[in-house]
Amino acid sequence: MNAHEIVDLVKTLLEDKKAENIKVIDLNGQGAIVDYMIIASGTSNRHVNALASFIESEFKLRSIRTETEGTPLCDWVLLDIGDVLVHLFRPDVREFYNLEKMWGDKSPRPSSANPSDLAALSASHEAALASE
């Protein structure tokens, strides 16, 4: 499968499992080590985990290897599928890290999060990563 086919399949799988706010960012020509980044939100940790598991199993059926990180917490799960990276977030974590702004979509995003909430979220995320 080429990168375009992977992107199309991932988008379809995410739509089928009710992922929210699916964005595809073309990284060609930006010096990135991958061609595309897909960002989507799940409604909860459990939903993010289900999305990641579904994508993994569908690619395994096609004999395509995926590497996954972040499944213990499922706040932010990263799936590496060759030339495509898939980021699955809980909505508050996605807003905090705002990868769209960093890599592609430069339009401002309104922030509804309280700065102290974001600091606490970051601290808990870092502590969980340290315990992995």
| pLDDT tens for the 132 residues of the chain, in order | 899 999 999 999 999 999 999 999 988 876 668 889 999 999 999 999 999 999 999 999 999 999 999 988 899 999 999 999 999 999 999 999 888 877 765 433 444 445 555 556 656 656 655 655
Domain count, the chain: 1
Domain that holds residue 114: 3-130
CATH number at residue 76: 3.30.460.10
The sheet with strand 84-89 has its strands ordered as 20-26, 36-41, 84-89, 76-81, 67-69
Q: Whose CA is closest to 70, among 59, 92, 86, 84? A: 86
The rounded distance, in Å, linking the Cα atoms of 82 and 67 is 9
Non-local CB neighbours of 82 within 8 Å, separated by 6+ positions: 3, 6, 34, 64
Determine the Cα–Cα distance for residues 85 and 78; give it in Å rounded to an integer.
Answer: 7
